[in-house]
Structure formats: structure tokens, C-alpha cells
A = this chain, B = another copy of it.
Amino acid sequence: MERTEIADLGEFGLIHHLTANNETRNASTVLSVGDDGAVIDHFGRQTVVSTDLLIEGIHFDLSYTPLKHLGYKSVIVNLSDIYAMNATPSQITVNIGFSNRFSLEALTAFYDGIYAACEQYGVDLVGGDTSSSQKGLIISVTAIGEVAPDQYVTRKGAQPNQLICVSGELGGAFLGLTLLEREKKIFAETGAQPDLENQAYIVGKLLKPEARKDIVQWFQENQIQPTAMIDVSDGLSSDIMHICKQSGTGCVLYEDKIPFNEEAREFAYKLKLDPTACALSGGEDYELLFTVDQKDFEAIRQNPYLSVIGYITPAEEGMHLITRGGNKHALVAQGWNHLR
């Protein structure tokens, strides 16, 4: 395989190479990459900004993560934050630092993923910085979105008796990670080729997640305004606790209402893992978790991609899960804590 050294291009050559095919999709993008900053026009709308730092060895493992998928996911995790504000992403900036182990082909694959996500979600890459690093790959993405004035949704608007809803299915990304880590370990010990057991669903949920653009569009079309919202990045348990703490409420979740993919459930049993625990503590699902007024129940029920999984209570009633067997357990925040 061809290998071009980044050093042969220099920084400006690299930037030119990486942005030569960058398209502008939004009328609001007045000035894109190639200057000190990007210019974004506004028409009486509000801007939402979100940013994330992803570091090799902490947030991702290149031994089983294709660089194109990583580029795609780096964008998705930020867009998901914008959607979780009930806003529509419009621009991103991308900073990357990379050691000399990365070739131009590797960085091009990474940016192919970035651009694929931009195209899929209709956003513009409007700036960024590239740098060498002493070790590994470092990615920092900032996403900017628009929302009609005062239509944005925070974590703190939930009130007692409101419904707790979630999009899609939970726990898949955690199972994908478990499978890939298992195969990595087996490969290290025995040299055996990875056997992903045709688990395309869970591997895909981890390596190439999608953000729930469709749900935010559906809110607008159906004039539904969630009262609180967050994306499921730390796990259902941790994330509903964020909503409850910031809203000053408690909650009740029903185990049998938590949506789970059938293939993923089978695979969890095979690994002797509890699917509910995967959903509660797994994280990285990038589904939308939100609360709505009871008047919206009928509309929510019509949407096959949404599940009502519980309701908000006064704070003094605490935060609980009602199990299939009818037992009541206090929720605990078990999200990934990468600082430990």
C-alpha cells in the first residue's frame, strides 16, 4: 500500500489535501475553511455549540476501529449533542493531532468518514486545526446548530407525572465493545482471527453510530416540545439521573419497557450478560432520552422509534427501576468514568 509522509506535504499542503473536496451545503455558511475563522449567518435564530475531545487509548482503540468509521463517529457524537438540545446541526470544526505513525492515507480515510457524516447530516465542515502529537491520535470536534428562539431543550425542565421516553434501542454499543475487546484479547493471546459471529448490529452500534436527526424533525413536524432531553452517552441510568438532578425530580423506570434489539438480547444471554444492565450502564448508544407532557402520549405511541419507559416523580420519591419481577431498585450512576 502506498504511503505518503505527512512531513512531505507540510501543514498547508495537508490542509489543502484534506479540504479540497469540502462542500458547502448551508446558505448560512458565508465563509468556510481557509481563513482564521468561519463566518455563519443568522436570521433571528439561536445558535447551539457543542464540543468533544476524543483521545486514542482512552476513547477509541485503533486495533479494531477503522479510521473512516472513527471520523464518522467523531462527528456523530457531537451532532447527537446538538440534537439533544432540540436543535439542528449546521456546521462543525475538527481539530486533529497525530503522531508520525499516521500516513496521509490514514488521515484521508479519517476525513472520508468526517465528510460522509457531513453529507449524511447536511452539515458543513467550516474550520479546524491540524497538528503533530507526541503519541497517538487526538480529535476535537465542535458542532454548531440552529434552533428557533427558545425552542431549545435542556436537562432541567422535567416535572412530576411527565413521561420518560427514549428513541431506538439501548445496550447495543456496550455489547459491541464487549465482543471486540474479547476478540482483541483472544488475538493477543492466541493469534486467532477475530470471530465477530455475524454480530453486525452491535458492532455497527459501537463503530458507526447514528444521531437521531429523525426524532428532532418529528418533534418539529408534530409540534412536540420535550420538557427535558439528553443523549444516551453514559448509559440510561446515568443519563436519566442527569435529567432528574438538574430538574429537581425523581423518576420511575420500568425494566420491561426498556427497548432492546432482539439480536443483541440473544447475544447478551450468550455472553451471560443481563441486557437490562447493558442498557442502564453501557452508554454510547446516542439515542435521545427525553420527557414530555402526558398530553403527548398518543403522538409518541404512534412513532415506532420511540418507547415510553417510565415517568417523573417528585424528588423525595427518589430514582428507581421497577424490575420485571415487580421489585423496586434504586438507580445508580454506573456510566463510563474514564477519569478513574
| Chain A residues with a Cβ under 8 A of chain B | 6-7, 9-11, 14, 30-31, 34-42, 44-53, 55-59, 81-82, 84-85, 87, 91, 93, 95-97, 126-136, 138, 140, 142-145, 147, 149, 152, 154-155, 230-231, 246, 337-340
Q: Given A37-B87, A51-B128, is A11 in contact with B338 using a C-beta cutoff of 8 Å?
A: yes
Which of A40, A91, A152, A339 gathers the greatest number of chain B CB atoms within 10 Å? A339
Residues of B within 8 A of A36 (CB): 50, 81-82, 84-85, 155, 230-231
Q: Are A131 and B59 in contact (CB under 8 A)?
A: yes
Residues of B within 8 A of A154 (CB): 31, 35
Residues of B within 8 A of A127 (CB): 49-51
Integer count of this chain's copies in the complex: 2
Q: CA A127 – CA B141 in complex, angstroms?
A: 13
Please give the distance in Å from A103's CB to the nearest CB on chain B.
Answer: 13
Please give the distance in Å from A294's CB to the nearest CB on chain B.
Answer: 24
Q: Are A38 and B48 in contact (CB under 8 A)?
A: yes
Out of B95, B230, B246, which one reaches A52, CB within 8 Å?
B95
Q: CA A149 – CA B28 in complex, angstroms?
A: 12
